[in-house]
Structure 1
Amino acid sequence: MARNPARPLSPHLTIWKWGPHMLVSILHRATGSALAIAGGVLFIWWLTALAGGEASYAHFIDLMTSDRTGKLNLIPAIVLIGLTWSFFQHMCSGIRHLLLDTGAGYELKLNKMGSIATIVISVTLTILVWFAIFARGI
């Protein structure tokens, strides 16, 4: 297809200078998808285990927390910690967008600071939640 030289080129990602606001925008979409897909699958699995009876539910809980020897299962732990972070990141980003919808926070410095704050707050909340869970001894 021939390009008309009179028409301007559309901006592309290689032209833009990357900033935290771009990262947070991409993370918002990614975490929303992760929560919808992985969270939905995990939720349906949990409901199925719950409906399957006591033995089925006990197997689900053993698999998602620790094995029979008391050692933590690494893969489920990574998935659960990832979903927890996804939840907090998506929530913080949503709150940031809510504030932007009021017309506040569009100044470059404030926008950058708000974007960084969503990442820092989501990581901090995830660490606090999982510290509390591990302190209880799962």
Structure 2
Amino acid sequence: MRLVDALQYRLPLAGYVSILHRISGIVMFALLPFVIWMFDTSLTSEISYESFTNAFVAGIGFVPAWFVKLTCLGLIWSYLHHFIAGVRHLYMDATHSVTKEFGRSSAVVTLALSLALTAALGAKLFGLY
């Protein structure tokens, strides 16, 4: 197979959801130190909780607040997508629903749910409501 042929191959939507499932797992693993810092800072004391909430207003050191919020938004998306896609895979394994039609429709539902929930939580994170 030539490289030109490989670049012209169109992956089905279920394939993209599967790849995004893996990417979201990598993102969550890579940002695990940030998650642990957020958890520790938010629970240690009232003073550390103030510094935790201040990170979303003033930033952390040289990192601006919008970047902290964007990182949290990435974590929100990765968790939601990984969870919903994982439930999709478990359902398909448990019910043996391995058809092309179900794969496509469940991939659409997975993408729509993860993006809609991310948009709703992102709007809350960025103070739109």
Q: Does residue 94 of structure 2 align to residue 94 of structure 1?
A: no
Of 111, 117, 124, 2:116 maps to 124
User: Match for 2:112: what amino acid?
Assistant: V
Correspondence for 2:28: 35
Correspondence for 1:105: 97
Correspondence for 1:3: none
Of 63, 68, 71, 1:76 maps to 68
Q: Distance in 2 between matches of 1:128 and 1:73?
A: 19
Alignment of 1:10-89 (within 5 A): 14=7, 16-38=9-31, 40-50=32-42, 53-63=45-55, 65-67=56-58, 73-89=65-81
Deviation track 1:17-62 (CA, whole Å, cap 9, x = no partner) reads 3111111111111111211221x21232124435765444422321
User: Match for 1:35: what amino acid?
Assistant: M
Cα distance, 1:125–1:52 mapped onto 2, change above 3 Å: closer
Q: Which runs of 4+ in 1 moved over 6 A?
A: none
TM-score, normalization by structure 1: 0.71
Correspondence for 2:107: 115
Q: Distance in 2 between matches of 1:42 and 1:94?
A: 23
Structure of larger gyration radius: 1
Equivalent pairs counted in the alignment come to: 121
User: Match for 2:26: what amino acid?
Assistant: S
Structure 2 unaligned residues grouped into runs of 5+: none
Structure 1 unaligned residues grouped into runs of 5+: 1-8
TM-score, normalization by structure 2: 0.76
User: Match for 2:77: what amino acid?
Assistant: W
